[in-house]
Amino acid sequence: MEKLVIAGEELDSRLIMGTGGAPSMQVLREALTASGTALTTVAMRRVDPSARGSVLDVLAECGIRVLPNTAGCFTAGEAVLTAKLAREALGTNWVKLEVIADEHTLLPDPIELVEAAEQLVGDGFTVLPYTSDDPVLAHRLEQIGCAAVMPLGSPIGSGLGIRNPHNIELIVERANVPVILDAGLGTASDAALAMELGCDAVLLATAVTRARHPARMASAMRHAVEGGRLARLAGRIPKRRYAQASSPFEGLATS
């Protein structure tokens, strides 16, 4: 299957993982391994890159590329500063840009997001913005020079799945950069749906880290992403009102 390419770089998996909510480093390690992910996002405000035994060590030992994110930032200023600190600490110019409007919904603040994206792109970052499912905003982010767009399915950690599949389809139709469904997925069918809608990849954390068996759910997500991608490429049949027999009635033996 064709590989996911972001900003000219190939990734071996279309499942991007987050680390938030993992009960322990051991469980996180098992889940990441089971997910087969090649890229995992880490909240830079929640980790000290110089500390040993941290989530960054786990990623390094598993050979997974780190995607620093700006979770917890409410203004463009904070997000830009956090991204720069991450670049300095981790030596990567990739950033998952997250600028949150309020604590209760954790929805992106579109105005601050565009502002921060513009600054970071201008500063040479490869910007992957976490955005709402608004097709216009997604398009604007692409025009600014973001390397991908990451619309939400539903609020972070909610497990509500994809609440507006139509908008996701509109974003996919128009996008010339990878579309990564980010946030709100609850279970494997949600991830499969994202891929069937034409997303290039899926980013999730809570659905795995807070599952009863995180590694098992990670494996389920991996298969769902692969299955959904294959279904998209295979092309689904049109929906019909009435049945159509899968085996022909003609030529049946008659007595």
Partner 1 sequence: MRIVIIGAGVIGLATAWRTAAGGAAVTLVDPAPASGASSVAAGMLTPVSELTYGEEPLLRLGLASRDRYGAFAAELEELTGLDTGYRTDGIIEVAFDSDDLKHLDDLRRFQESLGIPVEALTGRECRKQEPMLAPGVRGGLLAPADGSIDPRRLAPALLAACERLGVRLVRRRAARIVAEHDAAAGVGLDDGTVLPADRVLIAAGPWSGDLEGLPPGTVPPVRPVKGQVIRLRTRTPFIRRSTRGLVRGSSVYLVPRADGEIVLGATQEELGFDTRVTAGGLWELLRDARELLPGITELEFAEVTAGLRPGSPDNAPVMGPTAMPGLFAGTGHFRNGILLTPVSADILSAMLLDGPVPEVAGAFAPGRFATEVRA
Interface with partner 1 (CB under 8 A), residue from 2, 8, 52, 88: 52
Establish whether 96 is a catalytic residue. Answer: yes
Interface with partner 1 (CB under 8 A), residue from 1, 2, 8, 53: 53
Interface with partner 1 (CB under 8 A), residue from 1, 2, 102, 104: 104
Position 63 contacts partner 1 (CB under 8 A) = no
Q: If you ran DSSP here, which 8-state letter would residue 45 be given?
A: G
Give the integer Cα–Cα distance in Å for 180 and 29.
23
Interface with partner 1 (CB under 8 A), residue from 51, 60, 230, 233: 51
User: 């908008």: which residue's tokens?
Assistant: 167
One character per residue 136-165, x = contact with partner 1 (rule: CB under 8 A): ---------------------x--------
In the numeric block, which tokens belong to residue 194? 């994202």
Position 60 contacts partner 1 (CB under 8 A) = no
In the numeric block, which tokens belong to residue 206? 């809570």
Count Cβ neighbours within 10 Å for each residue of 75-99 and write b for 16 or more, e otherwise.
Answer: ebebbbebbbebbeebeebbbbbbb
Interface with partner 1 (CB under 8 A), residue from 65, 163, 174, 213: 213
Chain-centroid distance, C-alpha 11: 13
Interface with partner 1 (CB under 8 A), residue from 3, 9, 10, 46: 46
Position 100 contacts partner 1 (CB under 8 A) = no
CA-based end-to-end distance of the chain: 49
Give the integer Cα–Cα distance in Å for 95 and 80.
10
Tell me the window of 19-27, 76-84, 107-115, 118-126 that interacts with partner 1 (CB under 8 A): 19-27
Helix (H) or strand (E) holding 83: helix 76-90
Give the integer Cα–Cα distance in Å for 130 and 183.
9
Give the integer Cα–Cα distance in Å for 237 and 34.
32
Position 122 contacts partner 1 (CB under 8 A) = no
Smallest gap from residue 151 Cβ to partner 1 (A):
23
Tell me the window of 82-90, 172-180, 188-196, 208-216 that interacts with partner 1 (CB under 8 A): 208-216
Q: Which residues contact 86 (CB under 8 A, 6 or more apart)?
A: 44, 68, 70, 92, 95
Q: By CB under 8 A, name the binding residues for partner 1.
A: 23-27, 29, 46-48, 50-55, 57, 61, 103-104, 157, 212-214
Which residues participate in catalysis according to the annotation?
96
